[in-house]
Amino acid sequence: MNTSPVASDAALAASDVVAEMLDTDRQIAALQARQLSLLGRAGAIAAEQTARIPISAQREREMPLRSIAAELAAALRRSDRGMQNRIHEATTMLRQFPSTVQSLQDGRIDIAHLRVIGDVGTRIADPDARALFEQAALAVAERETAGRAKPIITMLAHRIDPVPSTERHATAAAGRRVWVRDLEDGMAEVVALLPAPLAHGIRDRLTQYARILVDQSNVGDGDGDADADEHDSGALPARTMDQRRADAFSDLLLTGHASAAESDGAICETDAIVARIQVTVPVAALTGADAPAALQSHGPIDARSARHYASTAAGWDRLFIDPATGNVQDADRYRPSRAQRLLLRGRDEHCRFPGCRAAVWVCDIDHTIDFAHGGPTQACNLAHLCKRHHTLKHHTAWSVRQRPDGVLMWTSPTGRVYSDVPQRALEFHAATQSGAPPPF
């Protein structure tokens, strides 16, 4: 370890930057909470004026809110329609999620966390259930990034909302559709609104096709010169992974078939690429209960869909959950497999560096204490890390230790400590702390 004065001074300077950034971020959050309060006051003024207008005069009753929104928009050089939406959203947050606004005021969360809680929680109609949800959601939001918190918070909402998840999913699935949005320069977007397992499966399958294209493009002509075409003025430029996915998407849709029978006649079964998704299903859901399952990197899906995917899966990973903590304790599979990999896949779900959401499929399984230094190949010393954070761990002053419960304690070069809690344990803690039903 380098303890020279230069290194110490650099660490001290970096620590000062982090401290000032934290303080600045808290001030920004407090100002954003103040903005919400002011927008709420604008909404209250408009509501008071509206209350004096007879209900029969519908057009006139719209004018107070439109007028004050137009005033604010003109002063701030914004769209008055957009300002009206902001007033409505602020009024909703202040009325339905006061603790979340207070957490923003105190700098414990940022505006992205608030939006996640608002977007998910406003679907809960029952006030008592919504209040219970808010406390559970804050327990997650105050320690995770907004991106990581969203699937956990969404799952909490599904568990707490008294409306059955199957009913909610059926209503949402009825709105599935595909549409095209024209863009500039001869481009257009094809957008599909689909059940989440299908959407994630589609992207995974496209990624697999794209990787095959990359592998094929890296094959040389047999004499070791894989880059011979680089100097050919007629050679096409290399495609990115996103471009390859888009090309595969077009090829599959434009040359595919509408039925499985037609596809079987055109594609050899052994050449087919199968999409991969990871769905965790409670035992109760498999036996017919309306308990939501979890789609990795997304959040809850309804029990009926989960039972369907379970019935068609080639194999199941069975997870054993500690009822006291929510941690994954063990894993096995009906077909022979490496139990440690199954356990870690179920426990981690994504890269275990704070804030990273890279799926386990693209991560390495890293020894927390290096194997070369005596670290055992056991679940308590293993965790998924993406390439970026695996490299960061081994080639910078970042360090990490793993607690017996699977929590990773990361120490930065400035000496700050950041904990990363397995998603299921965090969801369990948030639910039990708030008084919500345990997530099993």
pLDDT of residue 205: 87
Q: What's 292's DSSP letter? A: P
Looking at the whole model, is its pTM more than 0.75?
A: no
pLDDT of residue 368: 93
**pLDDT tens digits for range 7-21:** 567 767 888 999 999
Report the range out of 35-44, 274-283, 346-355, 365-374 with the highest average pLDDT: 35-44
Q: 438 with 432: CB under 8 angstroms?
A: yes
Average pLDDT in the chain: 83
**Better pLDDT: 158 or 265:** 158
pLDDT-derived band at 410 (thresholds 50, 70, 90) equals: very high
pLDDT-derived band at 281 (thresholds 50, 70, 90) equals: confident
Average pLDDT over residues 250-270: 61
Interacting residues of 367 by C-beta distance below 8 A, sequence separation 6+: 375, 377, 381, 382
Report the range out of 83-97, 163-177, 379-393 with the highest average pLDDT: 83-97
Among 26-35, 66-75, 288-297, which stretch is predicted with the lowest mean pLDDT?
Answer: 288-297
**pLDDT tens digits for range 192-206:** 988 888 888 888 888
Burial category of 246 from C-beta neighbours within 10 Å (exposed 0-12, middle 13-18, buried 19 and up): middle
pLDDT-derived band at 213 (thresholds 50, 70, 90) equals: confident
pLDDT of residue 229: 41
Q: Which contacts qualify for 60-69: CB closer than 8 Å, 24 or more apart?
A: 68/42, 69/42
pLDDT-derived band at 328 (thresholds 50, 70, 90) equals: confident
Q: Which amino acid is at 41?
A: R
pLDDT of residue 56: 84
Average pLDDT over residues 159-163: 90
Average pLDDT over residues 382-399: 92
Cα–Cα separations (whole angstroms), residue 439 to 171, 293, 327, 343, 376: 23, 10, 11, 18, 31
pLDDT of residue 8: 64
pLDDT of residue 274: 63
pLDDT of residue 212: 82
Q: 366 with 385: CB under 8 angstroms?
A: yes
Interacting residues of 344 by C-beta distance below 8 A, sequence separation 6+: 360, 365, 379, 382, 383, 384
**pLDDT tens digits for range 302-326:** 888 888 877 777 666 667 677 778 7
Q: 354 with 420: CB under 8 angstroms?
A: yes
**Better pLDDT: 234 or 36:** 36
Among 156-170, 249-263, 264-278, which stretch is predicted with the lowest mean pLDDT?
Answer: 264-278
pLDDT-derived band at 99 (thresholds 50, 70, 90) equals: very high
Cα–Cα separations (whole angstroms), residue 151 to 43, 126, 295, 436: 31, 21, 9, 17
Among 29-43, 248-262, 276-290, which stretch is predicted with the lowest mean pLDDT?
Answer: 248-262
Q: Is the pLDDT of residue 259 over 60?
A: no
Q: Is the pLDDT of residue 70 over 50?
A: yes
Q: Is the pLDDT of residue 260 over 60?
A: no
